[in-house]
Amino acid sequence: MTQAEIKLCSLLLQEHFGEIVEKIGVHLIRTGSQPLRVIAHDTGTSLDQVKKALCVLVQHNLVSYQVHKRGVVEYEAQCSRVLRMLRYPRYIYTTKTLYSDTGELIVEELLLNGKLTMSAVVKKVADRLTETMEDGKTMDYAEVSNTFVRLADTHFVQRCPSVPTTENSDPGPPPPAPTLVINEKDMYLVPKLTLIGKGKRRRSSDEDAAGEPKAKRPKYTTDNKEPIPDDGIYWQANLDRFHQHFRDQAIVSAVANRMDQTSSEIVRTMLRMSEITTSSSAPFTQPLSSNEIFRSLPVGYNISKQVLDQYLTLLADDPLEFVGKSGDSGGGMYVISILTTCHLLSSFLCRFGSRCARIFRLVLQKKHIEQKQVEDFAMIPAKEAKDMLYKMLSENFMSLQEIPKTPDHAPSRTFYLYTVNILSAARMLLHRCYKLCLFDRRLLEKSQRVEAIIASMQATGAEEAQLQEIEEMITAPERQQLETLKRNVNKLDASEIQVDETIFLLESYIECTMKRQ
């Protein structure tokens, strides 16, 4: 993990959970797995605070634990999971698009709390929706429950592993840490709950003032509390399923840009048919027959079976390999290749323009190629081709390989071939994306910190000289950058989303490529 990623993890942990959790989390990221007492000793934090911080991190799946043979429990930070917090707004917005406001709030509650029971989620969401409704209107628990069931059916939420019942009934001494397991069949099984009720509005401060004092109010929190119907069955957001959805959207968009709208609709249908049966990390979808695809096309999409077969053949014969043919039964069996190089090209070569993308794609196809051949095959003037090749070479998108004809390596008797290490280029771009996210967040955080200090000092009646000294904490270049950022804060938010989309594509491509190797 690079320094930029570690610093970004530090900022995200501090932003979401505070300084103590950030201190423990970053320590685990830097040192690897460690037992509880070593963490407390190395960080200089009390044992009680370390326990609470680890509870928070485990609750949000940011730290995992493992029991060793001698009974020592070691904790290990999940760096990639910490960085996923950058993508929380995108998870929430996607759910809003697919399942309206109710689905949005369900996923938001699960992301904010890490793990929750279904009954707790339903009540929280119903209360929040009731708050936004007009007076006299309330949100029914049943309606929220139905949306939760739909999210579970499409695997956007899943059950958390739990302690098996046999472990609880063991008469021997308890283990140093529980072993959590889950049956794959039960991962998306929603418990049969009868949640009757409606969302409640919060009491206003005026109502509280008019009512009884808090100390004299009767307490109903212990004896009168009914047992929770789904106690012990916790749920969490399935981030892999969201990533699968993002990946499918990227593939459909790439096909639409390469072919046409009909081709993208056919690919969308294939992805929709295999979204539950195909693992989020699989390099290919499950094989689908031409007949099955034809029957699953959207209602009102009037294309004949013959036209569909022609489109499938065209997609299978395309050199960019969006679709592959895996058999001839059922009118032909077809699979979709997940995140081929072309999906990557469309994301990170836009900064160089279409001509550079053409040269880059040419070098990828030819593996090794001379400069003169690039000019001829790409049909680009020699001067422009040379400038573009050197530009991509200086940015480390390409490398130059020397093949000497003679042992003396004389330039006049040496072939200079351009080549692309696509995996290396993807990793380099991923690192740049994380550095960009880190820079924006650190600058805005410093600005907010300085503004908070000035506001507090003004409130306490500080002198002008003291305020001036605080304002000078931000240097002139930083102040200029901040003014630009404040003028374009909406653009900054949009750019962070676009950077995250690029990060997702790059990470997915690297993961798929590594699995194929």
Ordered mean pLDDT values, 10 residues apiece, the chain (517 residues): 84 89 92 90 91 93 87 89 89 92 93 91 89 80 90 91 68 74 84 74 52 44 55 89 85 81 85 76 77 82 83 80 74 72 53 74 82 84 86 82 80 82 78 76 66 68 65 68 63 69 76 68
Measured CA distances, 353 to 346, 392, 479, 502 (Å) = 10, 12, 32, 17
CA distance 434 to 315: 34
Provide the residue type at 57 as one letter.
L
**What distance in Å separates the CA atoms of residue 262 and residue 255, rounded to the nearest whole number?**
10
Q: Which DSSP string corresponds to 453-478?
A: HHHHHHHTT--HHHHHHHHTTS-HHH
Residue 10 belongs to what H/E stretch? helix 3-17
| Angle, alpha carbons 332-334-339 (nearest 5°) | 165
Q: For the residues of 24-61, what is the DSSP string, one character each?
A: HHHHHHHH-SEEHHHHHHHHT--HHHHHHHHHHHHHTT
Half-sphere exposure of 408 (CA within 13 A, CB side): 4
What is the maximum span of the chain, computed from C-alpha positions, in angstroms? Answer: 97
pLDDT recorded at residue 291:
84
- Taking residue 256's Cβ as centre, other Cβ atoms within 10 Å add up to 16
Residue-level pLDDT at 340: 56
Distance of CA 385 to the CA centre of its chain: 37
Count the Cβ atoms, other than its own, within 10 Å of residue 442.
Answer: 13
pLDDT on residue 226: 61
| CATH 3.30.470.20, domain 342-420, yes or no | no
Which has the closest alpha carbon to 316: 380, 267, 251? 267
What distance in Å separates the CA atoms of residue 125 and residue 387, rounded to the nearest whole number? 57
DSSP 344-362: HHHHHSTTT-HHHHHHHHH
Beta-ladder partners of 501? none
Which stretches of 318-421 are DSSP H helices? 341-348, 354-366, 371-378, 382-394
Q: Which two tokens stand for residue 452?
A: 């908070």
Q: What local confidence, expressed as pLDDT, does residue 444 receive?
A: 65
CATH fold of the domain at 84-165+178-200+232-237: Arc Repressor Mutant, subunit A (1.10.10)
Give the model's pLDDT for residue 482.
Answer: 64
Q: Which CATH class is domain 240-336?
A: mainly alpha
Q: How far apart are CA 3 and CA 14, in angstroms?
A: 17
What pTM does this model have? 0.76
Fold topology of 3-77: Arc Repressor Mutant, subunit A (1.10.10)
Strand partners, 116: 235
Identity of the amino acid at 513: T
Distance of alpha carbon 308 from alpha carbon 258, whole angstroms: 17
Residues with Cβ within 8 Å of 118's Cβ and at least 6 positions away in sequence, in order, are 145, 148, 190, 191, 193, 230, 233, 235
- In three-state secondary structure terms, 158 is strand
At residue 369, φ and ψ (nearest 5 deg) are -155, 145
Provide the token pair at 433.
């994306």
Q: Which amino acid is at 350?
A: C
> For residues 126 and 120, what is the distance between their CA atoms, to the nearest angstrom?
10
Sign of the CA dihedral with 28 first, then 34, 37, and 38 last:
negative
Which residues lie below 8 Å from residue 182, measured CB to CB, with a gap of 6+? 159, 160, 161, 162
Alpha carbons within 13 A on the beta-carbon side of 331: 16
